[in-house]
Amino acid sequence: MRLSLGFALPSTLPSTSSSTHSTLRCCTLTQLINLNRKSIENQPLKKWERLLDPVDIEPIPSWIPAPARRPVKLGNRWMEYQGVRNWEGMLDPLDDNLREEILRYGHFVEAAYKSFDFDPSSPAYATCRFPKSTLLERSGLPETGYRLTKHLRATSGIQLPRWIEKAPSWVATQSSWIGYVAVCHDKDEITRLGRRDVVIAFRGTATCLEWLENLRATLDHLPNIDSDKSPKGHGPMVESGFWSLYTSGTTMGLSLQDMVREEIKRLLQSYGDEPLSLTITGHSLGAALAILSAYDIKTTFKCAPLVTVISFGGPRVGNRSFRQHLEKQGTKVLRIVNSDDLITKVPGFVIDGDNEVANNKDVNVSSLPGWIQKRVEETQLAYAEVGRELKLSSKDSPYLNSINVASCHELKTYLHLVNGFVSSSCPFRATAKRLLSNHSR
């Protein structure tokens, strides 16, 4: 069984005064904050429904300076930062320009969370709180140079029993706002980026039916022209629940797949003659949907531009054949992984011996005899990691006081770790502070 945590616990960084001391860390002498360690279990919790919101952020303490933001002109190197060379030589140590790009896309995901109505008692539950014209500004991103062009919704394909009609309406919410499409329109930002960029941003799990879809961990075959020529069980397959959320629709509304296809078709017709990139980003469930969207776009549009996925805390999505199809398409995937985050290690088993991340401490059977691997594959729980991995760890940060399942999966934890990571030999830069959102609700 797989957990898919889309909630956050209250921040463990106290806003009270604290003492400071000098320390030598990663060859840098700096001032670190000696924080009072209060376990989260001793703090009063809010109502359970508020725990669903992974960006419910406390005010930033005055002693934490805002992170420096000095946009760098990417120019002719923009394709390198979009992964055309699979980020070779840019991840360890982490290239500073790439760091800023990862954080920038992470804030687009944060905006998706902030725009979602998490309140089950609200008549607008599971919808977007803001119109397209003001969403980025009202969610704390006023000067991105991007403009929203499309709201996106995901629908669960789970057939509900009749008795569910007696339950509260939020329990059976079948279709919900999941994210948006935004296009860079500012001339200065287009010049800085070296191309016009299209962003698709997805939030993580929020509704009851999304949680249930997450638990459908067996693999389903994808409709693909090559599948009919492949032996049974060896074609591209993806997690049943993720595919259901991506492809299911209602009599009153399109599926997420159809909405993405329609908008990308329109944008390619509008901007296809100029340098263009498609960047799909998401956290948790949103990271899985980002990978499926990238696969579908490259499958549907043969002349699609470079498609890049920046995923935060994403679960496994498909089997080895699915990964091979992604690579053949030219889809570039950068997975930001917290090694202390349980969600990145599920569902299923990794049996992919030639993948760069198959030999870590996660559950894998790549070293077992072939007949055992074959039996595992027949269970439809044999997954493969995709793309390049930027591995981080909550344990490396001196500013995270509580290492637990929930906090390790939070988006703001991921942004903090990206902000602080230097290299495998120096996992956290001493000058980095805890990266909280600079934007309040």
C-alpha 353/C-alpha 344 separation (Å) is 18
Most confident of 12-21, 333-342, 370-379, 399-408: 333-342
Q: Active-site residue among 11, 175, 255, 284?
A: 284
Q: Active-site residue among 240, 409, 416, 437?
A: 409
CATH fold for the domain made of 19-420: Rossmann fold (3.40.50)
Catalytic (active site) residue 409: yes
**pLDDT tops 60 at residue 71:** yes
pTM equals 0.80
- pLDDT value, residue 160: 75
**What rounded mean pLDDT belongs to the chain?**
80
The pLDDT tens digits of the residues spanning 211-221 come to 999 998 889 99
- pLDDT value, residue 363: 47
Higher pLDDT, 398 or 358: 398
pLDDT above 70 as % of the chain = 71
**pLDDT tops 60 at residue 21:** no
- pLDDT value, residue 231: 52
- pLDDT value, residue 352: 58
**pLDDT tops 70 at residue 190:** yes
**pLDDT tops 70 at residue 423:** yes
- pLDDT value, residue 219: 92
What tokens appear for 173 in the block? 């919410």
**pLDDT tops 50 at residue 333:** yes
Is residue 429 within 8 A of residue 422, CB to CB? The reply is yes
Catalytic (active site) residue 341: yes
- pLDDT value, residue 438: 40
Higher pLDDT, 377 or 158: 158
User: Which range has the worst mean pLDDT, 13-17, 114-118, 202-206, 267-271?
Assistant: 13-17
pLDDT band at 386 (very low <50, low <70, confident <90, very high): very high
Instruction: Report the SS3 class of residue 249.
Output: coil
Q: Active-site residue among 341, 394, 402, 407?
A: 341
Catalytic (active site) residue 234: no
Is residue 291 within 8 A of residue 386, CB to CB? The reply is yes
**pLDDT tops 50 at residue 24:** no
CA 309 to chain centre: 9
C-alpha 96/C-alpha 100 separation (Å) is 6
**pLDDT tops 60 at residue 29:** no
User: Which range has the worst mean pLDDT, 88-97, 115-124, 199-208, 215-224?
Assistant: 215-224
What are the residue ranges spanned by the domains of the chain?
19-420
- How confident is the model over 233-247, as a mean pLDDT? 91
**pLDDT tops 90 at residue 59:** no
CA angle at residue 322 from 317 to 327, to 5 degrees?
A: 110
HSE at residue 32, side-chain half, CA atoms within 13 A, is 17
**pLDDT tops 60 at residue 166:** yes
Whether the link from the prior residue into 347 is cis, omega within 30° of 0, is: yes
Q: Which residue has the tokens 């360890």?
A: 92
The pLDDT tens digits of the residues spanning 269-297 come to 999 899 999 999 999 999 999 999 999 99
pLDDT band at 358 (very low <50, low <70, confident <90, very high): very low
* Buried/exposed code over 406-421 (b: 16+ C-beta within 10 A; e: otherwise): bbbbbbbbbbbbbbbb
**pLDDT tops 90 at residue 131:** yes
- How confident is the model over 194-205, as a mean pLDDT? 97
- Any idea how long the chain is? 441
pLDDT band at 233 (very low <50, low <70, confident <90, very high): low
- How confident is the model over 379-397, as a mean pLDDT? 90
**pLDDT tops 60 at residue 355:** no
Higher pLDDT, 435 or 413: 413
What tokens appear for 59 in the block? 């005010």
Question: Which of these, 38, 36, 165, 180, lies nearest to 110 by C-alpha position?
Answer: 180
- pLDDT value, residue 60: 35
- How confident is the model over 236-259, as a mean pLDDT? 95
